[in-house]
Structure 1
Amino acid sequence: MRAIVIERLGGPEELRLVDRPAPRPGPGDILVDVTVAGVNFMDTGVRRLGPSAGGVPFTPGVEGAGRVGALGEGVTGFAVGDRVSWVYASGSYAEQIVLPAADAVPVPDDISDETAASLMMQGITAHHFTTEAAPVEPGRTTLVHAAAGGLGQNLTRMIKARGATVIGLASTEEKAEAARRNGADHAIVSSGDAFVAPVLELTGGHGVHTVFDGGGGTTFRASMGVVRRHGTLLYYGAFNGTVPVLNMRELPRSIKVCYPVFRDHIPGREELLRHSAALFDLVRQGVLLPGVGGRYPLRDAERAHRDIESRSTTGKLLLFP
Structure 2
Amino acid sequence: MRAVGFTSPGGPEALRVMDVPRPAPGPGQVLVEVAYAGVNFAEVYRRRGWARTNGEAVVPGLEVSGTVAGWGAGVDGLSVGDPVAALTHDQAGASGGYAQFAVAPEELVYPLRTPAGEVDLLAAAALPCTVTTAYGLLAAGRLAPGEDVLIHAALGGVGGTAARVARLLGARRVLGTVGTAAKLDRPEAALYDRLYLREDLDGWARPDGPDGGFDLILDSIAGPTTEASLRALRTLGRVVVYGNPGGHGDTRLSAQELWLSSRAVVGYNLGEIAVRAPHLLREQALAAAGLLADRRLTVDIGEVLPLEAAWEAHRLLESGASVGKLVLRLAN
Tell me if TM exceeds 0.5: yes
Q: Distance in 2 between matches of 1:299 and 1:265?
A: 28
TM-score, normalised via structure 2 length = 0.87
Match of 1:276 among 264, 269, 285: 285
Residue 138 of structure 1 aligns with an amino acid whose one-letter code is P
What is the identity percentage for the equivalent residue pairs of Structure 1 and Structure 2? 32
TM-score, normalised via structure 1 length = 0.90
8 Å Cα contact 1:5/1:57 also seen in 2 = yes
Q: What's the counterpart of residue 154 of structure 2? A: 147
Per-residue deviation, residues 291-315 of structure 1 (Å, max 9, x unmatched): 1111111100101100111111110
Per-residue deviation, residues 80-136 of structure 1 (Å, max 9, x unmatched): 111111112521111111233332111115201111111221110111111x21121
SS at match of 1:33: strand
8 Å Cα contact 2:36/2:65 also seen in 1 = yes
Q: Distance in 2 between matches of 1:82 and 1:189?
A: 43
Equivalent runs, 1:69-84 vs 2, <5 Å: 69-84=69-84
Q: What's the counterpart of residue 187 of structure 1? A: 195
Q: Distance in 2 between matches of 1:290 and 1:182?
A: 14
8 Å Cα contact 1:150/1:290 also seen in 2 = yes
C-alpha change, 1:200 and 1:57, in structure 2 (3 Å) is: farther
Q: What's the counterpart of residue 103 of structure 1? A: 108
Residue 112 of structure 1 aligns with an amino acid whose one-letter code is D
1:118 and 2:123 matched = no
1:310 and 2:310 matched = no
Q: Distance in 2 between matches of 1:89 and 1:113?
A: 22
Q: Distance in 1 between matches of 2:166 and 2:149?
A: 8
1:42 and 2:50 matched = no
C-alpha change, 1:140 and 1:293, in structure 2 (3 Å) is: same
8 Å Cα contact 1:180/1:187 also seen in 2 = no
Q: Distance in 2 between matches of 1:66 and 1:19?
A: 20
Equivalent runs, 1:101-250 vs 2, <5 Å: 101-108=106-113, 110-130=118-138, 132-164=139-171, 165-178=173-186, 181-191=189-199, 193=201, 195-196=203-204, 200-203=208-211, 206-242=212-248, 243-250=250-257
Q: Distance in 2 between matches of 1:227 and 1:55?
A: 46
Equivalenced residue count is 318
Q: Distance in 2 between matches of 1:50 and 1:264?
A: 18
Residue 40 of structure 1 aligns with an amino acid whose one-letter code is N
8 Å Cα contact 1:63/1:89 also seen in 2 = no
Q: Distance in 2 between matches of 1:264 and 1:41?
A: 17
Q: Distance in 2 between matches of 1:301 and 1:136?
A: 35
Q: Distance in 1 between matches of 2:69 and 2:274?
A: 29
SS at match of 1:223: helix
Q: What's the counterpart of residue 3 of structure 1? A: 3
Per-residue deviation, residues 187-224 of structure 1 (Å, max 9, x unmatched): 11233745445774222xx4111111111213111111
Q: Which runs of 5+ in 2 are unaligned?
A: none
8 Å Cα contact 1:153/1:179 also seen in 2 = no
Q: Which moved more, 1:211-220 or 1:300-309?
A: 211-220
8 Å Cα contact 1:50/1:56 also seen in 2 = no
Q: Which moved more, 1:137-146 or 1:54-63?
A: 54-63
C-alpha change, 1:310 and 1:66, in structure 2 (3 Å) is: same
SS at match of 1:121: helix
1:320 and 2:326 matched = no
Tell me by how many angstroms 1:42 deviates. 1.6
Q: Distance in 1 between matches of 2:77 and 2:13?
A: 40
1:25 and 2:31 matched = no
Q: Distance in 2 between matches of 1:223 and 1:181?
A: 20
Tell me by how many angstroms 1:5 deviates. 1.8
Tell me by how many angstroms 1:171 deviates. 2.2
SS at match of 2:209: helix
Residue 161 of structure 1 aligns with an amino acid whose one-letter code is L
Tell me by how many angstroms 1:65 deviates. 0.8
Q: Distance in 2 between matches of 1:20 and 1:150?
A: 29
8 Å Cα contact 1:71/1:79 also seen in 2 = no
Q: Which runs of 5+ in 1 are unaligned?
A: none
SS at match of 1:35: strand
